[in-house]
Amino acid sequence: MSHIPRKNHFPDIDPVSLEHSTHTATHLKQLIGQQGSIPFQVWMHEALYAPGLGYYASGNTKLGNYQNQAITQGLPGDFTTAPELSPWFARTLSRQIKQVLQASGTTAILEFGAGTGKLAYDILSTLNNSDVKYFILELSADLKSRQQEKLAGFNGQVQWLDALPKHFEGCVIANEVLDAMPVNLFEWQEEGSLAEKHVSLNEAGEFTWLKQPANAAMVEKITTRMPVFPAYASEVNLQAEAWIHEMGNWLKKGVAILIDYGFPQKEYYHPQRSQGTLMCHLRHHTHDNPLIYPGIQDITAHVDFTAMADAALDSGLEVLGYTSQANFLLNCGLMDLLAALDPQDVARYAKEISPVQKLVSEAEMGELFKVLAIGFDIGEDLLGFTRADRRHTL
Ligand SMILES: C[S@@+](CC[C@H](N)C(=O)[O-])C[C@H]1O[C@@H](n2cnc3c(N)ncnc32)[C@H](O)[C@@H]1O
């Protein structure tokens, strides 16, 4: 996600959104009331996906696109993503997709969490091949209807799935989906035990943190990933690991390209990252308190790519490449594609190039975002990882 800070304090929230957040808070309070406390993972799931209430499951604007909007006007939504920033992201990614489809002799693409449908639209336009079938699995009914509107022109080619396929051959893509999966929060205690963070209610009926002993499975998982480190808090994305693991059952041929912000495990659980990576996005303002504004703010965590690669290996998939978004896009031929632009047409050139710089700049999305390819050998090296493949760092 990318943000253009507009204010350095909390943004004003309109009354309709505040009312929506109050309804979501009531739902969460009922859930906590029944159980005393709920693990943060359940909180995050409900705050993002509770039908009609959760951030992704209701009508929030969510994704902002400033292609047609002056930055000074302020962006709609809460965050923006690479496909929304620039069509050159999809055009470049399409080269990788095309190679996977051709080399594996398949014609299907499956996109998870397709947002506004912009990535699908730009990929289908770039490939310009009516033999390609495009499947979308989207949890958010609201985003699904935005996608259906956006992709109406490709009606015979696009199909929405309600559940994971039983058998899929082709190219899977997921941009910023792993980071939107609910995480479990943990904290090492002074005496060396591991606590899981729950959400409870204080005497005033406000949301508050509650530490509970972590279960044996979580203790085992965390102790293999980092040493005991009193007061260190972080998160583990068990749901994303299970999702990748499940892919080993249904992906039968081809490659999955997973793009997200994150790091290998050594960096993820680095002693200096002692408060984890959980972040909230509210009207392009980034902060770290997930217990406020439920239902109207996004909650995300960076991705532990070592855990994702291990889950893939464990489920019988190969890890085919891992690199930064900048390296991936450059390897896929971003510069060749941009050569089609006329630098003499200064205004258009600047308009096209400036968001592309954001995609590849080390200080913006180029380095923080990574690309992980998992799946089956297609008989040739994957285009996006021909240089600076960093699998050895996982
Ligand atoms: C941050 S948005 C990214 C949207 C889009 N991919 C983009 O790059 O603009 C996260 C998306 O992932 C979806 N999502 C989260 N978990 C999912 C899952 N298990 N299966 C499918 N979609 C999921 C959300 O509903 C949402 O559409």
Strand arrangement, sheet containing 298-300: 285-287, 279-282, 298-300
Length of the chain: 394
Closest CA to 230 of 274, 199, 276, 277: 274
Question: Is residue 298 in some structural domain?
Answer: yes
pLDDT value at 173 more than 60: yes
| Res 114: pLDDT | 97
| Res 69: pLDDT | 41
Q: Which atom of ligand 1 lies nearest, measured to the CA of 82? A: 8
Q: For 150, phi and psi rounded to 5 degrees?
A: -65, -35
* Ligand 1 center from residue 178 Cα (angstroms): 8
Question: Residue 379 belongs to what domain range?
Answer: 15-180+236-393
Q: Which atom of ligand 1 lies nearest, measured to the CA of 116? A: 9
CB 40 less than 6 A from any atom of ligand 1: no
Question: Is residue 35 in some structural domain?
Answer: yes
Q: Give dist(CA 154, CA 213) in Å, integer.
A: 51
Residues 6+ apart with CB under 8 A from 49: 55, 56, 57, 139, 140
Question: What's the whole-number mean pLDDT along residues 194-222?
Answer: 96
pLDDT in tens, 341-351: 998 999 999 99
Question: What's the whole-number mean pLDDT along residues 151-160?
Answer: 94
CB 180 less than 6 A from any atom of ligand 1: yes
Question: Is residue 91 in some structural domain?
Answer: yes
* CATH number of the CATH domain containing 22: 3.40.50.12710
CB 353 less than 6 A from any atom of ligand 1: no
Question: What's the whole-number mean pLDDT along residues 102-126?
Answer: 97
pLDDT value at 76 more than 70: no
Q: Give dist(CA 331, CA 94) in Å, integer.
A: 12
CB 38 less than 6 A from any atom of ligand 1: no
Element (H, E) at 132: none
| Res 70: pLDDT | 37
* Ligand 1 center from residue 306 Cα (angstroms): 21
Query: What residue's CA is closest to ligand 1, atom 26?
Result: 113
Q: In this structure, what token pair is assigned to residue 123?
A: 């990929």
Question: Is residue 32 in some structural domain?
Answer: yes
| Res 73: pLDDT | 41
pLDDT value at 5 more than 80: no
Angle subtended at Cα 108 by Cα 93 and Cα 2, rounded to the nearest 5 degrees = 35
Question: Is residue 225 in some structural domain?
Answer: no
| Res 142: pLDDT | 85
Higher pLDDT, 11 or 156: 156
Residues 6+ apart with CB under 8 A from 366: 324, 325, 326, 359, 360
Question: Is residue 90 in some structural domain?
Answer: yes
Question: Is residue 86 in some structural domain?
Answer: yes
pLDDT band at residue 67 under the 50/70/90 scheme:
very low
* Ligand 1 center from residue 269 Cα (angstroms): 25
* Ligand 1 center from residue 180 Cα (angstroms): 6
Domain total of the chain: 1
**Mean pLDDT, all residues of the chain:** 92
Question: Is residue 187 in some structural domain?
Answer: no
Distance from the first to the final alpha carbon of the chain:
23
